[in-house]
Structure 1
Amino acid sequence: MNGLDRKLGLCLLIISICSTLSISQSKNDKTVVGTVGKEKITYGELKANVNTFPNSSPSLKELEDFLPIYLEYKAKIQFAEKEGILKDEQLLSELGQYSKQASYSYWLENKIKETEFEKYYDRASNELKSEHILIALNNNASPEDTLEAYQKLIEARNKFLNGTDFSELDRQYSSTQNGRSMGGDLPWFSIGTTVKEFEDQIFSLKIGEVSMPFRTQFGYHIVHLQDKRSRTLSREVSHIFTRAGSQASKEKVDTAFEKLEAGWPWSEVVLEFSDDGLSAPNGGKIGWVNYGRYQTGFVDSVMALDTEIDYSKPIQTSYGYHIFRIDSVQSFGNEEEKKKTYMKEFLDSPNFKKSNSFVINWLMNNYRNSVNQQVLENFNTKIAQSDTLKISNIEFPETNTNLFSFRDYKFTDTDYHNYLDATHPEASAKSYSDKWFSDFKTYAIDSVLVKLTVSEFPEFQKTLDNYQKGLAVYQVNDTYLWSAATVDTSELVKIYENNEAEYSFPKRHFYYLLSSFADTSLAKGIDFIKNGNHPDSLRSYYPRVSVVKDSTGVFTDDPFDKLEQMSPGSFSEPFDYRQRTAVFYLKEILPSRKMNFEEAFNRLLASYQPKREDLWLNELKKRFKIKADYKKLRNAFKNDEKL
């Protein structure tokens, strides 16, 4: 196990150890089963922290085995406190990084997922039919372009309210791409099939209503809700498919239907006739079909099928010709099963993303925040007046006036200027973008997220404390138990001098392994060495020949057993090696010799490690007076079983 894996594993273990649930304790749980200095370890604490299978109680042996480990862990924490390790600068820096990311994860799992799923579940029972107008804007659009798009959509909305047909307004106002409107009619869809901003708007409307302008990643929209109905349950579908566009395709699907009617197995007909190369090898399965994933006409055709028939007659859709088979219809045995299915949908949908930006946006939308527009306007005006001057060189009045508020946290215009200095040090006033203030708001919330998380979830502080202890215990172990820098080298010297035979190199072969996909290239490489050139230069002249050299190992397995039969300066016969043709070139045979102390150091350290750990832990036990009371532990366990 490398150091990083060991560090992560230990810290996670300690978080697990320390995450004791607050539960009511019986008198039996208060029994003291061990002490570390003045700290008393109770039976209840030990029982709560031992790692057992979920919903199972630890056995007596598990508790007895865990007691000395837990006491040592407690002693290491006390040691870290006395030595100032808990306040180590590097440790606190790492704790800060963990705290930030843990805060994001905590919000996702303990607040956002539950809250957003409730909204998702409530909406998931409906399907909506709508049309929209879209004016495309990129994220860096100027304030002028943004305002212009907004005002155009207000104009379009007013015209619709006064009787103008929405499709006509779409042609007049929507942006186009490749000659086609980016707005217009939308198919029936349910929750989780479009971006969240659009979904929030449309699900807030009543039938016949049109929204105010709103922004998504695509630009500014208004949306008109045309109709609403109960959600159509998904159908799991397989098909035989031929492409539209020719009489041959129609004849092909008709022939496939005739074969089915004649008794051919479905899988054979699919392989023989279907043009869908992705689904054909899997029996024609295309998965669950519902509104929002496919074109409306295609889904209508699937939903209109009688589920009792084995397969449909040939049906034409916008994709081509199909023979459909309904493999399953979505159903729910109870409410719990329905919620479980929708939860999986929710976690895979745009409504839930495990990203920091998703958390920030959720916090922005769900908690009190405000922008002092006058202060922002003054700030932007100052920048606009500075033209080509670097933003970092603009002299702003030292107002330090509140610009952005989030919950009880305040951020000033000076904070914003400092942020721009740090993130855009070379930017000129001319390049200023409104997006930078949006980024600043994200930065501001991120900067207070740990404090906010502790405030909202007081138990989160315990997670941070436990991780800090985990880092400290790791550092104690790394410094005093694992690090080569702190080992007593005099002890290693004694081992080295008293065990000469164990710290010697045996006879070894110093060889080159040459290999290539092309036998001709390998032959050229062999000739290169035979002509007196050094093997280390081979790759420079013949890059298609791989060269590996070694002189440290003692090998007996094929193909390395060939080396025993070779003499220095010779080549082996060619052999297959990792799908290449290869040969050995034996440079020389190195005689056995005693290692010097530096060469033997790692092996000496490994030999001494168990004793080293025992010595240090014994000193730790003495210093912190570790005592385990197994008799009280056994009595507490017996009394526990009687309850």
Structure 2
Amino acid sequence: MTHSIKLTSMILLLSVASVFGQTNDDDAVLLTIDNNKITKGEFIRIYMKNNAKDAQIDNKSLNDYLELFINFKLKVLEAQNLGLDTAITFKHELAGYRKQLAIPYLTDTTVENKLLKESYERKKVALRASHILIKLPENPTPSDTITAYNKALNIRKLILAGEDFGKVARENSEDETTKNILGDISYFSVFSTVYPFENAVYSMNVGDISMPVRTIFGYHIIKLTDRINNPGEVKVAHIMVLVPKDAKPEDVKKAEDKINEIYAKLQANQDFGKLAMEYSDDKSSAKKGGELPWFGTGRMVPEFELAAFALIHQGDYSKPVRTAFGWHILKKIDSKPVGTYEELKPDLQTKLYKDSRALQSRISFVEKLKKEYNYKSNDKQLTEFYKVADTSLFSGNWKAEKAAALTKPLFSIGDSTYNQQQFANYLEKTSKKLKIENVSQSMLITYIDEHYNKFTEEKILAYEEIRLDAKYPKFRYLMNEYHDGILLFDLTDKMVWSKAVKDTSGLTDFYAKNKNNYMWDKRADVTLFQYSNDKIKDEALKLFDKKSSKGFSNDDIVKMETKKDSSALKITENKLFQKGDNPIIDKIAFNSDASLNKVYEIDSGKHQILVVNKIVEPQIKTLPEAKGLVTADYQFYLEKNWIAELRAKHTIIVNKDILSTIK
């Protein structure tokens, strides 16, 4: 089991729900371990998370959980006594979790909710658009920007004057991906493109030609070609015949002939999944009968996506469809509409936090913090940086020593003040080589102003972040649980999980003392054969009839049948089956009428026959055979003994009077 999976399980075990049944004595001490006091409130929070909200609290479940809670606290205490909470790796991991958990607390929830609602409304609509891109360099100068804008504007004038959009896109667009398909980017929905592009296209009517739209890529001229209700998501299987980009004409023709042959087999009612496994060049999906994950608009190439959403009923399959990858036949497995806002909110929120539009919420939140903590800025002190700014800011060589004389306060937030030297160090740290020529004074001033805004935002958010524990109990509880959960994982891994795997002598000794617990049930020794045609099958059946009297082995029979054709008969599997492993084997081998060495035909379509060689009576599994079960039991044994040692090592006092008040 991986670290992340085990830790997640522990965090779920220890997660804090909303406080249930709070009373005035929540601060009363319920449990004392040595000098460590645990309150009733802490215990209730964790207990209620691990039980249904409407569950009745009974003495048995309460006492049982208390024992688990004590075990948990003992392990965490032991980890702290061993200094695991001071390890650099621990601190780094906890800091990573804290950074993620703090995100929802460092945003303006009003703005965030507005953006989420906007995202959901856009999610319900799918748009199709074409665009023409005029690129901008990574760090454009004003001259670069004006030149690109005017070029985009002139292209728009051509289209408005009657030029075909697709033709103009092919001749002028700098988007190499779409220019050869007339600028078409097919159907898409929210979070499929950068936010400025999305804002522009969702405000357009079908047929509109936009003004130049600025994004991080450059300027876009957009034409909205369709607006539909979002069909949601679809799940399909496909059979693919690959056509490489550099394929010769004869190979292209062979691929087309092959997909048509497969299509003919489907029309003759052959199984789609079996055909996918046998013929599809998409090997990752072929082994699953061609099945693909769920997808929505904007996830697949246009031709594939259009064919998928055109399938109406489950089980329907398409005619061969050509894409840039080759030929496909699609089969509809299922579809689902766009979910409700509440259903989609977690996913929308995750995407929002990763998207540039989250900047709106962060900026608004920073402005609120400025008011809350009485932010004061000295703009005059900032202007002194204009005098020490030079082109080295754009070459990555600017040094803080250039501002050595600047030591005055720049701004204050709450009880913290940040001075010019701190900003100078920030400028040095963030200075990097940029591809910019002819740097002007106005560009230097803009650079200083932009970095000052980033610097103040960073410090204000950091000021708030260190206060989250005090401001938000729920955040504090959750951080405590991650703190304890990581410690619990690290120490349990050392004392139980990894120890059970590495301690081979201990594992062997444990197995020797408990091997009667690891038994095979009655098993059937079975050999599975595959034959090439019915003639070979009939010949093999005759040989199997003589198997006992002639003393033939299975290998002997295969050798006899493959003298002329090596693929005539082959053994595909030879193994022991317990009852329940395989329904076909169960029916044949564990039947009271079952006969040893009798041949059974199990799948004429796959040309398969099997022979039950013998029935093996119950026997003890070897250690390699039972390794997984033995290791799990050994881990349980180690943990049980470890808990006993910890309980003997510490003084544990439960306040029964306080426990009795939990109802």
Range class of TM-score, shorter chain: 0.5 to 0.7
Question: Could you tell me which of 330, 338, 344 is aligned with 1:324?
Answer: 330
Structure 2 residue 402 is the aligned partner of structure 1 residue 394: yes
Structure 2 residue 139 is the aligned partner of structure 1 residue 136: no
Partner of 2:659: 633
Is the CA contact 2:187–2:298 (under 8 Å) kept in the aligned structure 1? yes
Partner of 2:186: 187
Question: Could you tell me which of 255, 265, 279 is aligned with 2:271?
Answer: 265
Structure 2 residue 423 is the aligned partner of structure 1 residue 416: yes
Alpha carbons of 1:147 and 1:394: their partners in 2 closer, same or farther (altered >3 Å)? Answer: farther
Structure 2: runs of 5+ lacking an equivalent: 77-84, 244-248, 371-376, 495-623, 625-641
Partner of 1:508: none
Is the CA contact 2:237–2:330 (under 8 Å) kept in the aligned structure 1? yes
Is the CA contact 2:106–2:362 (under 8 Å) kept in the aligned structure 1? no
What's the CA shift string for 1:523-553, capped at 9, x where partnerless? xxxxxxxxxxxxxxxxxxxxxxxxxxxxxxx
Partner of 2:103: 107
Structure 1: runs of 5+ lacking an equivalent: 78-88, 483-577, 579-608, 622-626
Give the C-alpha shift of residue 126 in structure 1.
Answer: 0.6
- Computed over aligned residues only, the root mean square deviation of the Cα atoms, in angstroms, reads 6.5
Code of the aligned partner of 2:51: P
Question: Could you tell me which of 285, 293, 301 is aligned with 2:291?
Answer: 285
What's the CA shift string for 1:245-278, capped at 9, x where partnerless? 5443343333333333334333343345444444
Alpha carbons of 1:384 and 1:413: their partners in 2 closer, same or farther (altered >3 Å)? Answer: farther
Partner of 2:50: 53
Is the CA contact 1:190–1:292 (under 8 Å) kept in the aligned structure 2? yes
In 1: Cα distance, 2:363 partner to 2:181 partner: 27
Partner of 2:635: none
What's the CA shift string for 1:538-586, capped at 9, x where partnerless? xxxxxxxxxxxxxxxxxxxxxxxxxxxxxxxxxxxxxxxx9xxxxxxxx
Give the C-alpha shift of residue 175 in structure 1.
Answer: 3.1
Alpha carbons of 1:280 and 1:170: their partners in 2 closer, same or farther (altered >3 Å)? Answer: same
Give the C-alpha shift of residue 317 in structure 1.
Answer: 5.4
SS at match of 1:264: coil
Identity among equivalent pairs (%): 19
Give the C-alpha shift of residue 190 in structure 1.
Answer: 1.6
SS at match of 2:184: strand
Is the CA contact 1:35–1:71 (under 8 Å) kept in the aligned structure 2? no
Structure 2 residue 398 is the aligned partner of structure 1 residue 384: no
SS at match of 1:282: coil
Partner of 1:125: 124
What's the CA shift string for 1:315-351, capped at 9, x where partnerless? 555654444322223247xx65x853x4576478x55
Higher relative contact order (CA 8 A, sep 6+): 1
In 2: Cα distance, 1:248 partner to 1:288 partner: 31
Partner of 1:449: 461
Give the C-alpha shift of residue 392 in structure 1.
Answer: 3.2
In 2: Cα distance, 1:407 partner to 1:160 partner: 57
SS at match of 1:383: coil
SS at match of 1:419: helix
Structure 2 residue 254 is the aligned partner of structure 1 residue 256: no
SS at match of 2:300: coil
Alpha carbons of 1:402 and 1:68: their partners in 2 closer, same or farther (altered >3 Å)? Answer: same
Alpha carbons of 1:463 and 1:407: their partners in 2 closer, same or farther (altered >3 Å)? Answer: same
Code of the aligned partner of 2:214: F
In 2: Cα distance, 1:450 partner to 1:146 partner: 36
Relative to the length of structure 1, the TM-score reads 0.54
Code of the aligned partner of 1:326: K
What's the CA shift string for 1:360-399, capped at 9, x where partnerless? 8465455466998996797388313999985334247749
Aligned pairs for 1:124-203 (under 5 A) are 124-137=123-136, 139=138, 141-144=139-142, 147-148=145-146, 151-152=149-150, 155-156=153-154, 159=157, 163=161, 165=163, 170=169, 174-175=173-174, 177=176, 184-203=183-202
In 2: Cα distance, 1:148 partner to 1:229 partner: 35
SS at match of 1:416: helix
Alpha carbons of 1:219 and 1:54: their partners in 2 closer, same or farther (altered >3 Å)? Answer: farther
Alpha carbons of 1:21 and 1:31: their partners in 2 closer, same or farther (altered >3 Å)? Answer: same
Paired residues, number: 486
Give the C-alpha shift of residue 236 in structure 1.
Answer: 2.4
SS at match of 2:305: helix
SS at match of 1:187: strand
Is the CA contact 1:298–1:317 (under 8 Å) kept in the aligned structure 2? yes
Partner of 1:557: none
Code of the aligned partner of 1:147: T
In 2: Cα distance, 1:261 partner to 1:110 partner: 58
In 1: Cα distance, 2:288 partner to 2:393 partner: 65
Give the C-alpha shift of residue 211 in structure 1.
Answer: 5.2
Alpha carbons of 1:42 and 1:109: their partners in 2 closer, same or farther (altered >3 Å)? Answer: closer
Alpha carbons of 1:300 and 1:91: their partners in 2 closer, same or farther (altered >3 Å)? Answer: closer
Give the C-alpha shift of residue 124 in structure 1.
Answer: 0.9
SS at match of 2:457: helix
In 1: Cα distance, 2:360 partner to 2:26 partner: 42
Code of the aligned partner of 2:399: I
In 2: Cα distance, 1:444 partner to 1:617 partner: 49
SS at match of 2:287: helix
Alpha carbons of 1:131 and 1:67: their partners in 2 closer, same or farther (altered >3 Å)? Answer: closer
Code of the aligned partner of 1:269: L
Relative to the length of structure 2, the TM-score reads 0.52
What's the CA shift string for 1:159-208, capped at 9, x where partnerless? 47964755576567643659967993321212233344533443344552
Alpha carbons of 1:162 and 1:412: their partners in 2 closer, same or farther (altered >3 Å)? Answer: farther
Alpha carbons of 1:144 and 1:376: their partners in 2 closer, same or farther (altered >3 Å)? Answer: farther
Code of the aligned partner of 1:460: Y
SS at match of 2:390: helix
SS at match of 1:128: strand
Code of the aligned partner of 1:452: E
Q: Which moved more, 1:262-271 or 1:93-102?
A: 93-102
Is the CA contact 1:136–1:175 (under 8 Å) kept in the aligned structure 2? yes
Aligned pairs for 1:87-102 (under 5 A) are 98=94, 102=98
Is the CA contact 2:178–2:185 (under 8 Å) kept in the aligned structure 1? no
Give the C-alpha shift of residue 225 in structure 1.
Answer: 3.6
Is the CA contact 2:238–2:292 (under 8 Å) kept in the aligned structure 1? yes
Partner of 1:236: 235
In 2: Cα distance, 1:27 partner to 1:325 partner: 62
Aligned pairs for 1:553-632 (under 5 A) are 617=650, 628-631=654-657
In 2: Cα distance, 1:26 partner to 1:631 partner: 15
SS at match of 2:299: coil
Is the CA contact 1:153–1:221 (under 8 Å) kept in the aligned structure 2? no
In 2: Cα distance, 1:167 partner to 1:398 partner: 57
In 1: Cα distance, 2:136 partner to 2:215 partner: 9
In 1: Cα distance, 2:38 partner to 2:258 partner: 79
Aligned pairs for 1:292-371 (under 5 A) are 292-307=298-313, 310-316=316-322, 319-331=325-337, 336=340, 340=343, 342=344, 346=348, 351-353=352-354, 361=359, 363-364=361-362, 366-367=364-365
Give the C-alpha shift of residue 421 in structure 1.
Answer: 3.4
Code of the aligned partner of 1:327: I
Alpha carbons of 1:271 and 1:448: their partners in 2 closer, same or farther (altered >3 Å)? Answer: same
